[in-house]
Amino acid sequence: MATPLLPNSRTEPDGSAVIRVLSYNIRSMRDDTDALARVIRACAPDLVLIQEAPRFFRWRKKLARLARAADLVIVTGGATTTGPAILSDLRATVERTEDVLLPPTPGLHRRGLATAVVRFAGARLGVVSCHLSLDTDERSAQGGMLLDRLAAMGVEHLIAGGDLNERPDGPTFRRLAEALQDCHAVAPWGGTDTWTPGNPYQRIDAIFATKGVEVLGCGVPDGLPGVTEADLRAATDHLPVLAALRIPAA
C-alpha cells in the first residue's frame, strides 16, 4: 500500500511551485464515472493528463461533467486530439493550448497530443498528454514526434504523461526515459503497475519531466487517503499515475 506522505500543492517563497500531476486513461468514461471522479478528486491534482477522453456523441458535455465532478476545468483536448486531454484546477493560469493530430497510418486509430503552457504562480510549465500506438513501428515514430513537440514548445520546464502501450524495457519507453526523467523510476512512490487485467501486470502508463523539474514522488496512488481499491477497479481498466513535482520559478 502507498504511503500517504506525498507532498501537497503549494507555492514556495522563491516562486517555485509544488504541483500534483495525474495521468489517467479513462476508457472513454464507459465504466463507473462516479468512482472515476472520486479517484481524481482524492488525488487533489493540479493537472490531469487524460487519455481516451470521450470522442463521439456529446463528448464535450461528458468531459465537462467529469471535470465538474472532480473540481477541475477543461484546458484542452478530447475528440479534437482523438482522446488525449488536459484538465486543471483553478490554481493554473493557461497561457496557450494546441491540439495536435499525428500523421495517420492506414488501418490504425489516429493519435494526437493535447498540449498547453500553464503557470503556477512564478513557475511556467509546458504540458503534453499522449496516448501512443499499439503498433510497434508507429509507436516508435510517435515517441520521436512527442520529443520534437516538447522541444518546440519554447518552455524550459516540461512534463509529458500518458499511456505508452509499452513497458519500460521497450525501445520507445527507453528513448523517452533517456531524454527525460521517468518520474516513477526517479522517485518511486505508491504502486507500480498500471495495466492489471491479469498476469503479468505491466507498467505502461508514465509521467516524464525535463531535468530541471524536481520529482518528489510518483506512482499509482493505491493507499492514498480517499482512494479505494473498489473505486480504482470500477473507474476504468487502467490505474492512474500521480506525481508530485517541484517546478522552478521562471
What CATH number is given to the structural domain containing 21? 3.60.10.10
pLDDT at 40: 98
Structural domain includes residue 1: no
Structural domain includes residue 188: yes
129 touches 86 (CB < 8 A): yes
Q: How far apart are CA 155 and CA 170, in angstroms?
A: 28
C-alpha cell at 23: 495521468
Check: pTM over 0.85? Answer yes or no: yes
Mean pLDDT to the nearest integer, 6-27? 95
Structural domain includes residue 4: no
pLDDT above 70 (res 3): no
Structural domain includes residue 66: yes
pLDDT at 196: 73
Q: How far apart are CA 99 and CA 63, in angstroms?
A: 16
Structural domain includes residue 2: no
**Number of structural domains in the chain:** 1
Mean pLDDT to the nearest integer, 75-92? 97
Mean pLDDT to the nearest integer, 204-208? 98
pLDDT at 198: 66
Separation in Å, CA 2 to CA 159, 174, 185, 229: 23, 26, 15, 12
Structural domain includes residue 41: yes
Q: What is the dihedral of CA 172, 178, 180, 184, to 10 degrees?
A: 80
pLDDT at 1: 45
Region of 142 please: left (phi>0), alpha (psi -120 to 50) or beta.
alpha
Structural domain includes residue 5: no
Range of the domain at 238: 12-247
pLDDT at 79: 96
Please tell me the least confidently modeled range out of 46-55, 62-71, 115-124, 196-205.
196-205
pLDDT digits (tens, 9 = 90+) for 143-165: 999 999 999 999 999 999 999 99
The pairing of strands 112-120 and 123-131 is: antiparallel
Percent of the chain with pLDDT over 70: 97
